[in-house]
Amino acid sequence: MVEANPALSRLKTRARLLHQRARARDLGALARLSRHPLLRGPEGPRAQDIQRKHCLDVIAREFGFRGWQHTTRVLGGDLEERDVGTLLCPPACAGFTNTWFARHEDARAHLRDGYLLGYRTHAFIVSAAYIEAMGLDPVHEDWDALARDWLRPPAPAARARLYARLIALRPPEGAPIACACA
């Protein structure tokens, strides 16, 4: 059966691999899982106590979401979910100057040539260079389908495709991270 949402499918695959590594008592995997609130302890998590749901939660948090349920709402296209996490603010983009707004409506009123993105419950407008630094193509047709508004897109399927691209670009845990703006 094919997963309807490629972004969620990619994250589930990463959680499955993390779970396999944890069951094999891989120290790196156990260290990552020790950040989970239910697995914290003086001796860290025991491999036999780790469940797939813990791995899903850890992967979700590593991608800037509050947990797996939050991830499924955001990546599943729930436009009522106001908190979009932190995935759209990668370290490679920390040096950019953007215009920030507390409310989407205010940001939308100021959107001209830029791209409207979100960080948690805030909205911000970025340039094409920011989009490129994220690893995405700023002239891809999905941006037109979104009307360059990530938070309230007229075509949520286009946003789902862009989310899947962002997740695919992120190297597996432990792999070196290349800066897209270098």
Per-residue pLDDT of the chain (182 residues; tens, 9 = 90+): 444 799 999 999 999 999 999 999 999 999 999 989 888 877 778 888 899 999 999 999 999 999 999 999 999 999 899 999 999 999 999 999 999 999 999 999 999 999 999 999 999 999 999 999 999 999 999 999 999 999 999 999 999 999 999 999 988 764 434 434 33
Stated pTM of the model:
0.88
Look-up of token digits 């955001």: 74
Whose CA is closest to 67, among 36, 41, 29?
36
**Dist CA 51 CA 39 (whole Å):** 10
Element (H, E) at 119: strand 115-119
**Dist CA 28 CA 45 (whole Å):** 12
Look-up of token digits 């813990």: 54
> Residue 38 has what pLDDT?
85
**Dist CA 80 CA 35 (whole Å):** 29
**Dist CA 137 CA 128 (whole Å):** 8
Q: What is the distance between the terminal CA atoms of the chain, rounded to a whole angstrom?
A: 39
> Residue 175 has what pLDDT?
46
> Residue 6 has what pLDDT?
94
Q: Where are the domains of the chain?
A: 6-75, 91-154
